[in-house]
Structure 1
Amino acid sequence: MKISEVAIEELIPHQEPMILLDQAIATSDDSVTCQLTITEANPFYQPEGVPNWIGIEFMAQAIAVYRGWQLYQQRQTPQLGFLLGSRKYTAHCEYFLPGQVLHISASLIYLEETLGSFDCNIHTEDGQLLATGRINTFMPEKSKIEEYLSGK
């Protein structure tokens, strides 16, 4: 089965309206590419489009898809992960424009137990670079999530 044949809802632990990606379109052992179209359905939509800083969340969700695909192949459900921060996030636009089809790519730099780092970028469908960044994540063991969320 290809990742493009799996509904995004089966790959990430998000619920509407916070599912911002439309679909996963490609994956490899160390990367994923997802797609979305900027529409009024996006909860961050403004008349000009979606502000560029939301690109960090697009990237984080692409990383969630990467991890979700690994779990899906093992017949496990997606699990919660945390965005620890971003380094060198650079946007080359003020807004992602209405109607734009975006490709969000995340490439694994390293993954050591529960900590991961990914180089990410956002391109238009025709290849114009709109944003880049390095995203750092924390993906705890499923059994530890409740403990972290409860503050224990």
Structure 2
Amino acid sequence: MSNAQPNWQPEELLPHDHPMILLGRVEDYGADFVAASFTVNKQSYFLNHQQQLIPIWFGLEYMAQTIGLFAGIQHKLANEPVKIGFLLGTRRYTCLADALLMSHTYQVRASKKYEDEGLSVFDCAIYHPELVAEASINVFQPNDSAEFFKQL
């Protein structure tokens, strides 16, 4: 069952400021997934203006921000502040396209596969409408980021 909240904006769910908020809107979410979308345009942060595209390797950041939306939704539902999280890495990143193209709208989906003490693994994919890229992404979200940074 879906709990889509069309009024939630990425700005409310991510601990980022523009221009680093890459996603346009939350499309859908559930207990273990979130779906978002974005359109490549002249204001897109990673746009190669000469070639009018975003190189596909930046797809990982779109996936990571989609995971951030999932975490932000969980915090909002629990009446907690949005917390910072960290992209630890990926075990695989498969690309079926060379770039994200100007004026195209893409769908990004992140599905939680594992979670334990702040460490999570998500399967992520970008579509237009066919699969463009997919990855398994490892993330970490400490309970208290200030205390976490003191320990480093």
**TM-score range normalised by the length of the shorter chain:** over 0.9
Alignment equivalent of 2:96, drawn from 77, 92, 95: 92
- What is the total number of aligned residue pairs between the two structures? 148
Pairing 1:61–2:65 present: yes
Are 1:101 and 2:105 counterparts? yes
Paired residue for 1:75? 79
1:121 matched to 2:125? The reply is yes
Verify the 8 A CA contact 1:48 1:95 in the aligned structure 2.
no
Aligned-residue sequence identity (percent) comes to 33
Give the alignment's TM-score, normalised by structure 1: 0.92
Question: CA offset at residue 148 of structure 1?
Answer: 3.3
Once structures 1 and 2 are overlaid, which stretch shifts more, 25-34 or 39-48?
Answer: 39-48
Q: Which residue of 2 aligns with 1:147?
A: 147
For structure 1, the 5+ residue unaligned runs are none
Residue in 2 aligned with 1:45? 47
* Distance in 2 separating the partners of 1:16 and 1:64: 15
Tell me the amino acid that sits aligned with residue 105 of structure 2: V
Distance in 2 (CA, whole Å) between partners of 1:134 and 1:56 is 10
Partner of 1:27: 29
CA displacement 1:18-62 (0-9 Å, x = unmatched) = 000001110010000000001111111012311101100000000
How far is the alpha carbon of 1:118 from its aligned partner?
0.3
Q: Provide the rounded CA distance (Å) in 2 between the counterparts of 1:34 and 1:23.
A: 6
Q: Distance in 1 between matches of 2:53 and 2:27?
A: 23
| Partners of 2:14 and 2:110 in 1: CA distance | 15
Tell me, what secondary structure is at the counterpart of 2:83?
A: coil
Deviation at 1:2, TM superposition (A): 3.4
Distance in 1, matches of 2:141 and 2:5, equals 21
SS at match of 1:64: helix
* Aligned residue in 2 for 1:133: 135
Residue 87 of structure 1: CA displacement? Answer: 1.5
CA distance in structure 2 between the partners assigned to 1:103 and 1:130 by the alignment: 10
Distance in 2, Cα, partners of 1:92 & 1:15 = 30
Structure 2 Cα separation of the partners of residues 146 and 71 of structure 1? 17
RMSD between aligned alpha carbons? 1.3
Kindly state the Cα deviation for residue 128 of structure 1 after the two structures are TM-superposed: 1.0
What amino acid is the match of 1:114? G
TM-score by length of 2: 0.92
